Structure 1
Amino acid sequence: MPMIRGAHVILYTADAEADRAFLRDVLGLAHVDSGGGWLIFQLPPAEVAVHPAERSGAVELYLVCDDIDATVADLGARGVQFEGEVTDQGWGRLATIRLPGGGRLGIYEARHPTAFDL
């Protein structure tokens, strides 16, 4: 039986070059060039959660950090724009990054068990 060896996340954006530069230069994610400058980025370990919803099909991407205050301060010092303040959601403390291309990327400090080290 075939084994799943990873996940591939796609961020749709009006400015792919700016968002690729952000992931490469600001977040410092390792990457490969799959041809013609089309960068594919390595993500940290990942997990997937399934939440109930009125309609199926929505997908969200959140980055997880150990200390949201330190991470927001560090990224803010590097020019990253955030929407609003860090909020307490109960399950974690959440911030929203505004990507150069206009999209949003969640980042949070988890207060729940994670599956990263299984």
Structure 2
Amino acid sequence: MIKGAHVILYSADADADRRFLIDLLGRPTVDAGGGWLIAQLPPSEVAVHPAEASGAIELYLVCDDVEATVAEWTGRGVPFETPISEERWGRVTAFRLPGGGRVGLYEARHPLAFEL
């Protein structure tokens, strides 16, 4: 039985990104050994989109109110790089991690798989 999923983000500054996400998400962590913290994520879902080349992976955090979340996180110093846009599937924006990685944030219009 599958119990969950493990997401790996590769970063030029893994320590900074790890601290940033742990502080931002405020979720419990576990020590995988030697102080290597792994943060718990909220419930998740996975989608597979068509592409000309395989291998690209994107991470989106899902929220109930993207405007309120952007306002709160901007106040905490999160650097959003795009304005909120209206898409068929939801309202979306993105921010950068300290190491340069891009993370999306969106308010879904579709039923969420983890709420089924």
Shorter-chain TM-score bucket reads over 0.9
SS in 1 for 2:52: coil
TM-score (norm 2): 0.94
Alpha-carbon distance in 2 for matches of 1:57, 1:99: 21
1:71 CA drift (Å) = 0.2
C-alpha RMSD of matched pairs (Å): 1.0
Name the one with the larger strand percent: 1
Structure 2 unaligned residues grouped into runs of 5+: none
Of the candidates 29, 34, 37, which is equivalent to residue 36 of structure 1? Answer: 34
Equivalent residue number for residue 79 of structure 2: 81
TM-score (norm 1): 0.93
| Contact kept in structure 2, 1:68 and 1:108, CA below 8 Å | yes
Structure 1 unaligned residues grouped into runs of 5+: none
Equivalent residue number for residue 49 of structure 1: 47
Paired-residue identity, %: 69
Figure out how many residues of one structure are paired with residues of the other and give that number. Answer: 116
SS in 1 for 2:15: helix
Moved more, 72-81 or 26-35: 26-35
| Contact kept in structure 1, 2:82 and 2:95, CA below 8 Å | no
